[in-house]
């Protein structure tokens, strides 16, 4: 079969198929898309868009089973077809295009064949790292993504919200991306499609990291930005399966990706050696300021959302096959800036589903303009922005799998103790690491548990190596009445948020704060 892009409506350009990392890096430098760093990484800047643009993400309105709303915005199919034709015509006028063929999913039974057609070699290099790699071209891809950052949409004629657009058409197996140079849009488009396709086949998709110890005891770490997911799952005593996206089938727990897309802000070798040491030949470093030839990972003048794309092969202590057995432990990470959640609590199956659906963390002052006090944030499945189906589809799968495989589930708070943000202090990373180790080793069961009457969870009475005082938040606050007021305030937020799940059964509602 002749390999071309005529089925995508693209004819004319010279097609560069699956070039090597070196070739793509040199071409990106030639095109002035980025510069070479002494580490061997490619440094790029993404201009106006330094993060995802969720209000510019759409799903074609003929797609069945989509949970339409503020997250999943419909886009008319006729408008999509017209825009698709214009994007193809735009790409056809380029002298060359860069195509990457790869897989999403380490478990080939559930993998999708992905083809990404890139206007820029820097984007091709990035997505080559993030997809599972292969040595041949797809005869027929399951999903084709056209990435045209130079194509700026006209909202009045194209039907978009702005010049940027990310439009998914799962039935056709196509995606259009234009008007934005941010690499994360490509990665998250693939994940969104997997979150649509796999759960309909009984495979739960997870916005979480996974590692496994020497006892063949896989652990899943859920957590929104800032909760410590990458830091805590990068354990020198446990092999990393993957950092961000996974599938859980009847047979395996598997990585969807072939690399990691890690935040760089505040990066140090001490806190995250896996990522720090992985920034080398061919890595794509995005929006990090370079000073005197060195990366300044503490400079947020361009964006707080500085990033690096790294292939798994660059990382030490990683299981590159990307598959493992069913998890023994599931950990929900939350950063509670109100300072009232226990640093660790045990959840039964219903409570696990409740907190999975809640996806709680908090934003603190300084993270966004206008936030002067802690702001509770609830993101279903710890990744609501990428979940096209109804919440109960994912929640039902999680509950079934937790029960079937007798998973131990814990909620770990990496936020504040002794008072809210600005009054108390952040949990010590050493204490949190010790707590996570105790969870994974089953050490918390030896001292027994108490029930927290406000948050309706079981809190361990002892954790080896950790001061028992911090296990009970009320004991760390100098003013007990202030603690109770703040705890009831947060419990009320949980209850109010859960009301949006109108079809949630009563036993799940009762599993949350009462």
Strands 73-75 and 245-248: unpaired
In DSSP notation, 58-125 reads: EEETT-TT---SSSSEEE-HHHHHHHHHHHHHHHHTSSEEEEEEEEE-SSTTT-EEEEEEESSHHHHH
Contacts 24+ apart (CB under 8 A), 319-322: 319/212, 319/239, 319/240, 319/241, 321/106, 322/106, 322/132, 322/241, 322/242, 322/254, 322/255, 322/258
Q: 3-class SS at 248? A: strand
**Tokens representing residue 497 in the block:** 């948020």
**Tokens representing residue 176 in the block:** 């259009």
End-to-end, the C-alpha distance of the chain in Å comes to 62
Which residues are tagged catalytic? 52, 188, 207, 225, 229-230, 244, 307
349-358 helix and 391-404 helix, angle to the nearest 10 degrees: 150
HEC string for 392-414: HHHHHHHHHHHHHCCCEEEEEEC
Q: How many whole angstroms separate alpha carbon 178 and alpha carbon 182? A: 10
């Amino acid at each position: 079969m002749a390999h071309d892009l005529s089925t995508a409506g693209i004819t004319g350009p010279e097609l560069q198929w699956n070039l090597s990392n070196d070739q793509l890096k040199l071409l990106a430098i030639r095109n002035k898309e980025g510069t070479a760093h002494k580490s061997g990484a490619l440094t790029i800047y993404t201009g106006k868009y330094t993060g995802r643009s969720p209000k510019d993400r759409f799903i074609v309105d003929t797609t069945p089973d989509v949970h339409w709303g503020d997250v999943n915005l419909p886009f008319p199919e006729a408008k999509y077809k017209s825009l698709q034709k214009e994007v193809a015509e735009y790409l056809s006028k380029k002298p060359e295009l860069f195509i990457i063929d790869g897989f999403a999913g380490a478990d080939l039974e559930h993998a999708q064949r992905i083809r990404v057609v890139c206007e820029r070699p820097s984007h091709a290099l990035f997505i080559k790292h993030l997809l599972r790699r292969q040595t041949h071209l797809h005869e027929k891809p399951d999903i084709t993504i056209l990435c045209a950052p130079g194509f700026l949409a006209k909202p009045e004629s194209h039907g978009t919200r702005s010049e940027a657009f990310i439009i998914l058409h799962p039935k056709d197996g196509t995606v259009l991306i234009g008007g934005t140079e941010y690499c994360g849009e490509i990665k998250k488009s693939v994940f969104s499609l997997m979150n649509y396709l796999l759960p309909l086949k009984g495979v739960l998709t997870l916005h979480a990291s996974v590692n496994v110890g020497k006892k063949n005891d896989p652990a899943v770490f859920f957590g929104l930005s800032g909760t410590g997911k990458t830091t805590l799952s990068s354990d020198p005593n446990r092999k990393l399966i993957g950092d961000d996206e996974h599938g859980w089938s009847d047979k395996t727990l598997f990585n969807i990706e072939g690399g990691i897309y890690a935040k760089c802000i505040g990066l140090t070798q001490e806190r995250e050696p896996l990522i720090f040491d992985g920034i080398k030949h061919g890595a794509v470093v995005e929006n990090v300021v370079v000073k005197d030839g060195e990366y300044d990972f503490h400079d947020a003048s361009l964006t707080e959302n500085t990033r690096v794309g790294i292939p798994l092969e660059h990382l030490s202590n990683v299981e590159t096959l990307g598959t493992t057995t069913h998890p023994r432990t599931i950990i929900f990470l939350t950063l509670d800036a109100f300072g009232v959640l226990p640093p660790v609590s045990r959840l039964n199956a219903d409570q696990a589903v409740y907190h999975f659906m809640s996806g709680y963390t908090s934003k603190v002052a300084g993270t966004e303009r206008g936030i002067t006090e802690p702001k509770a944030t609830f993101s279903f499945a710890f990744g609501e922005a990428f979940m096209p189906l109804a919440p109960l589809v994912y929640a039902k799968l999680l509950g079934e799998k937790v029960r079937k495989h007798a998973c131990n589930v814990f909620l770990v708070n990496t936020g504040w103790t002794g008072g809210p943000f600005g009054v108390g202090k952040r949990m010590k990373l050493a204490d949190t690491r010790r707590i996570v180790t105790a969870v994974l080793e089953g050490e918390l069961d030896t001292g027994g548990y108490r029930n927290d009457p406000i948050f309706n969870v079981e809190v361990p009475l002892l954790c080896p190596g950790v001061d028992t005082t911090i296990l009970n938040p009320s004991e760390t606050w100098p003013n007990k009445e202030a603690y109770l007021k703040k705890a009831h305030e947060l419990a009320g937020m949980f209850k109010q948020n859960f009301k949006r799940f109108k079809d949630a059964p009563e036993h799940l509602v009762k599993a949350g704060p009462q």
